[in-house]
Structure 1
Amino acid sequence: MKRELFYLFFLAFLSLSGKAQGDREVYERYCAAMKEKTALPAGGLMVETARFFLGTPYVAGTLEEVPERLVINLHGLDCMTLVENTTALAWSVKHRPAFDGYASALKDMRYRNAGNATLDYTDRLHYTTDWIYENEKRGYLKDVTKEIGGKPLKLDLSFMSTHPDSYKQLKGNPERIAIMAAKEKEINARPHYYIPQDEIDAHAGQIRNGDIVCFVTTVKGLDISHVGIICREGDKLTFIHASTTKKQVIVNEEPLQEYVQGVKRNCGIMIVRPQF
C-alpha cells in the first residue's frame, strides 16, 4: 500500500514538474519573441504579448485547485487568465525579466494578500472590478473609464455568496461565504463607471491599443462577463480574447461596439490602461 501511494505521488510530481517545465519553455519563447519589442510603450507590448498567444486553446477552470496555490498555465487560457498573464508578462519583460519575476508579478496581480505564505481561496480577486481596484492601487493599471466619458454604474455583487454550491471551495464552508459576502458589500460601495454599449464608437478615439476591455453584464449579482485586450485592425477597433465559441485565443472579427451589442447580457464596457 505504501509503495502504491509513493508511486502515485511520484507520478503526480512528474506531471506537475512537466507542466512547470513546459510553462518555462513557453516563457522563454515569449522572451525571445519580445527581444526586439521591449522598448515598446506598455500598450504596444500588451498587444504583442496577446498576439503571442493567438491559437492557444481555450481552457476554463485552470485556477480551481485545492489547496489554493499560484497556478501558472500558459498552455490553456480563459479570458481572465489571458489578460492576467499578458499583463504580468509585459510588466516582467520591462521590469524584472526572469521567470520568477513574471511569476511574482502574476501572484501580486491575482491575489489580495499576495505576500501571505499560504494563500486562501478568498484571497483571490474573483470579481473583475475588485481585480481592477487592487491592481490600480499597486500601480499596474488605471481605470480610465470615467475620464473617457464613462457614466456611473451601480453594482450589486452577490453571486458568489448566494450561489456557494457553484464553487467547490465555498460549498459547505460558511466562513468563506461570509468573507465573500463582506467583500461583495465593500466592492458595491465603491464608485464604478461604464461606457454604455451604444456609445462605444463615440469614445473610440480615446481607447488605446493594449487597453484592457471589460464587458459589463446585466446578470444579477455579477459585474463583468468577459475581458480582452484592445487592438486595432486597420480602422477597426476590436480586441484579442480567449473565445468560448472559437475555443482559442483570437483577434475578434467584429468591431468592438458591434460585438457588445450582439451579446444579449452585455450592457457596456469598462476600459483599464496598463501603467508600466
Structure 2
Amino acid sequence: MRRFALMMLIPVMLGCSAKKSVENPVESAPETAHPQSMAIKMNDETVNKLHAILALHAAVPEADKGQTIDLLSQAFLGTPYVANMLIGSATTPEQLVIDFHGLDCFTYLDYVEALREATTDQQFIENLIQTRYVKGEIDFLHRKHFFTDWAQKEHVLADDVTAQLSPHAVTLVKHLNRKANGDAYLPGLPVVERRVTYIPSEFVDDNVIRQLQTGDYIGIYTKLAGLDVTHTGFFIMTQDGPVLRNASSRKENMQVVDSPFAAYVMNTPGIVVLRPR
C-alpha cells in the first residue's frame, strides 16, 4: 500500500460526505468527533502538485479567466487517464476524493475549476466541494453527475452558450440517467428531464471555432438516451491552433493531451459549449 500524508483538517458543511465511482486508490480519512469537520487525506504527489500549481497561479495575478484556465489545465498535461476516480453510489458512502495521480475527463474539469479562484489549500478544497456538489453537500445524490449540471444546478459554474454560436444548433429534450431500455445509468439517482442543445459536428466550422474562447468547457454530445455528453475538455487556442485539452481514454493516449480541435470534433456527434463565469 502506498504511503499517504495526512494533509490537514478542513471544516466542511454539516452533512457533507463526496463524488463518483469505485476505482480510486485514495484512502479517505475518518470523520473527526466534530460533526462539522472532515479530515482530508491527500497523497504526497497530490500535495506537492497542488502547492506547485497554486504557486504558478500566484505568479500571474493579472491573468484573465481564459489565461488562468489555460495555465492551470496545462499543468496537468501528461497526467495519466484513470477511469472512475470518484467514490460513492446509492449504496456506498460518498467520499471527498482529491487525487492528482490520475484523472478522468470530468475530475479534470473539477480540479481546474476549483483551482481557478484558489490561493490556498483550504480555498481549493472549499471550491472543489462547491464545484462537485449542489449546495456543497458531499453526497451522491447532490453530486453534479452530468456536464450540463454546471449550467443548470444551484451555484451555477458556467453559462451554456451553445445556441449562440450557430444557427444550426439543435435542442432536444433528454431524460438524463434513463437508458433506452428504461434502466438507470446510476441506480438511486432520479431521472432529470432537461433540454440539451448541441452543435452537430458538420456545422462546427471556422465561424463557430472563431467564437470559442480559451477556457470554454466543451462537452462531446452523445445521441445515447439518458446522457448529455460522453466526454469533456477545455477549448484552448495555442500557437499551433485550437485544441481540445482533455483527459483522453483513447488507447494511443491514456493521459491528458492536446487534441487538434477540428479533427477531434469531426468524428463525434457534436459539441455542447459552456462558458465559465
TM-score range, shorter chain: 0.7 to 0.9
Amino acid of the residue matched to residue 155 of structure 1? Answer: V
TM-score by length of 2: 0.76
3-state SS of 2:59 partner: coil
Residue 247 (structure 1) aligned to one of 233, 254, 257 = 254
Amino acid of the residue matched to residue 133 of structure 2? Answer: Y
CA distance in structure 2 between the aligned counterparts of 1:53 and 1:274, rounded to whole angstroms? 19
Asked if the contact 2:151/2:157 (under 8 Å) is kept, the reply is no
Amino acid of the residue matched to residue 227 of structure 1? Answer: T
CA distance in structure 2 between the aligned counterparts of 1:89 and 1:61, rounded to whole angstroms? 21
Which residue in the other structure is 1:47 paired with? Answer: 70
Amino acid of the residue matched to residue 56 of structure 1? Answer: T
Q: 1:1-276 alignment to 2 at 5 Å?
A: 19-65=42-88, 66-92=92-118, 97-114=119-136, 116=137, 119-134=138-153, 138=155, 140-149=157-166, 151-160=169-178, 162-164=182-184, 167=186, 170=187, 176-177=188-189, 180-181=190-191, 184-185=192-193, 188=194, 191-201=195-205, 202-234=207-239, 236-245=241-250, 246-252=253-259, 254=260, 256-262=261-267, 266-275=268-277
Offset of residue 105 of structure 1: 0.9
Residues 152-161 or 218-227, more deviating? 152-161
Query: Where in structure 2 are there 5+ consecutive unaligned residues?
Result: 1-26, 31-38
CA distance in structure 2 between the aligned counterparts of 1:31 and 1:85, rounded to whole angstroms? 12
Offset of residue 60 of structure 1: 1.0
Query: Where in structure 1 are there 5+ consecutive unaligned residues?
Result: 1-11, 171-175
When Rg is computed on C-alpha atoms for both structures, the one with the higher figure is 1
Asked if the contact 1:55/1:249 (under 8 Å) is kept, the reply is yes
More helix by share: 1
Change (3 A) 1:203 1:121: same
Change (3 A) 1:235 1:250: closer
TM-score by length of 1: 0.76
Offset of residue 28 of structure 1: 0.4
Offset of residue 17 of structure 1: 7.1
Change (3 A) 1:17 1:104: closer
CA distance in structure 2 between the aligned counterparts of 1:143 and 1:17, rounded to whole angstroms? 33
Amino-acid identity (%): 26
